[in-house]
Amino acid sequence: MLEAAGLECVRQQRVLFAGLSFALGGGEMLRVAGANGSGKTSLLRILCGLLAPQAGEVRWQGAPIQGLREEYARHLVYLGHAPAVKDDLTAAENLAIACRLAGLRTAAESISEALARFGLSGAALVKRLSQGQRRRAALARLALSASTPLWLLDEPFTALDTAGVAMLRGLIEAHIGRGGAVVYSTHQDPGMAATRVVELVVA
Amino acid sequence: MLDAARTVVFRDLLLALRRRSDVATALLFFLIVASLFPLGIGAEPNLLRAIAPGVIWVAALLSSMLSLSRLFAADHADGTLEQMLLGVSPLGVVAGAKVLAHWLVSGLPLVVIAPVIALQYDLPQSLYGTLALSLLLGTPVLSFVGAIGAALTLGLRGGGVLLALLVLPLYVPVLIFGAGSVDMASAGLAPDGQLLLLAALLVVSAAFAPWAIAAALRISTE
């Protein structure tokens, strides 16, 4: 499904990685490992098309993603470094808006159900939530994205407690089980058997 | 596609409603700047009447500038902008929707309170219609053009000042035709020509600015 060919990333005149190639099929999981500043976030941003690589290209089902744009966006969920939730909206409003922008039609019940799975009520403004709860509010989107084949998750385990980590692992494993593909970055090993591991080294 | 646009407009209006102080700041700024001139110049009705259109328009430009720097910056900081970039509808549509929401919150109120300002300048009541109409046509252009600058300066240090330097020169045609239309009307001539030119500017900017904003956003979020 997802293919990276000879990716090179340069940030602030520093080569973070070069000649990075891999392919990821349905039902496979890729873990991006590496120390802080090794380019994990940059790699994920390149994979979702937010950042253009210095060299090489990313292909989705054989076609370069630059040409696909919205077509590619339909097939992926990217959860970035920042939780992407608005402080002045409730968790439920945030999730509903994120789903509609992603082209998912979701009923109000399934939204509150997804939030409830992550132990959130949905009625409180996000600014009253803790870091971990914000992260949960962002991750709740995954519970509604079963039909989206590719998940790109940047440090999804940060700020989560053990119950949250278990919850997320369950979601990821279920997604792999139904033939989806997951790319996630982390600097600690969460104990999931990844099909492939890309280890980035600080140059 | 329209669904995404509606979602973004709804979202931004809801956010504005939750943070009313932000909206009030720009509006109060407009009110205060426009009120300083009559206080500074003193009771000289003829002079005030002559400078009114220009001063009201300049105050509108500055107040529109004031709220622009926040247009994308907040969404950029909390990561929601990235999600919009990765949305399934074209980014231009989302950008257009954001500009529309910005205008509804910061431009439309100016149109509504302009007659109150005009009162301070002893502008004849017959001119209120032209003034409001020129603002109604001109302020969306300010939002569209300004949003291009806001997208380009996103994430830069000192972006606010740079934004002003970048955008204010581009506001000049709007200022000329906007203030000019009220001047024409006060001289007893038909302001149609100026208003039609403003309408033309609006059509052109509404058609092209969203795509320029989209391209600028892609560059500055890299």
Report CA-CA distances (Å) from A137 to A107, A122, A153, A165, B152: 17, 8, 14, 14, 30
User: B206 CA to chain A: closest CA distance, Å?
Assistant: 22
pLDDT band at B137 (very low <50, low <70, confident <90, very high): very high
Taking contacts as CB-CB distances below 8 angstroms, the residues of chain A near B89 are 70, 101, 103
What is residue A202's predicted lDDT score, i.e. its pLDDT? 63
**DSSP letters for A147-183:** T--EEEEESTTTT--HHHHHHHHHHHHHHHHTT-EEE
Cβ <8 Å between B3 and A100? yes
Give the pair of three-digit tokens for residue B212: 């320029």
Cβ <8 Å between A88 and B78? no
What is residue A151's predicted lDDT score, i.e. its pLDDT? 92
Q: Of residues A187 and B11, which shows the higher confidence score? A: B11
Provide the residue ranges of all domains of chain B, joining segments of one domain with +: 2-221
pLDDT tens profile B68-91: 888 999 899 888 999 999 988 889
What is residue B177's predicted lDDT score, i.e. its pLDDT? 95
Contact residues of B toward A, CB < 8 A: 3-4, 7-8, 11, 14-15, 18-19, 77-80, 82-90, 94, 221-222
pLDDT tens profile B26-51: 899 999 999 999 899 888 889 999 99
Helix (H, G, I), strand (E, B) or coil at A126: helix
User: A89 CA to chain B: closest CA distance, Å?
Assistant: 7
Which residues are paired to A2 by β-bridges? A24, A60
pTM, 2 dp: 0.91
Cβ <8 Å between A84 and B87? no
User: B209 CA to chain A: closest CA distance, Å?
Assistant: 20
What is the C-alpha to C-alpha distance for residues A183 and B213, in angstroms, rounded to an integer? 30
pLDDT band at B208 (very low <50, low <70, confident <90, very high): very high
Distance separating the N- and C-terminal Cα atoms of chain B: 24
Q: What is the pLDDT along chain A (203 residues), one digit of tens a residue?
A: 888 888 888 888 888 888 888 888 888 888 888 888 888 888 999 998 888 888 889 999 888 888 888 888 889 999 988 888 898 999 999 999 999 988 888 888 888 888 888 888 878 888 888 888 888 989 999 988 888 899 999 988 888 888 888 888 889 999 999 989 999 888 777 677 776 777 777 65
- Indicate the range of B13-17, B66-70, B135-139, B171-175 predicted with least confidence: B66-70
Contact residues of A toward B, CB < 8 A: 48-52, 70, 73-74, 76, 78, 80-89, 93, 97-98, 100-103, 125
Cβ <8 Å between B77 and A78? no
Pairing between strand A55-60 and A63-64?
antiparallel
User: A127 CA to chain B: closest CA distance, Å?
Assistant: 12
Cβ <8 Å between B83 and A85? no
Nearest CA to B28 among B113, B99, B131?
B113
What is residue B136's predicted lDDT score, i.e. its pLDDT? 96
What is residue B171's predicted lDDT score, i.e. its pLDDT? 94
For residue B90, the chain A residue with the least C-alpha distance is A70
Cβ <8 Å between A101 and B84? yes
User: Is A80 within 8 Å of A183 (Cβ atoms)?
Assistant: no
Q: Which helix (H) or strand (E) is A19 found in, with range?
A: strand A14-24
Taking contacts as CB-CB distances below 8 angstroms, the residues of chain B near A82 are 77-79, 82
- Arithmetic mean of pLDDT, B170-193: 93
Cβ <8 Å between B19 and A88? yes
What is residue A203's predicted lDDT score, i.e. its pLDDT? 55
For residue B19, the chain A residue with the least C-alpha distance is A88
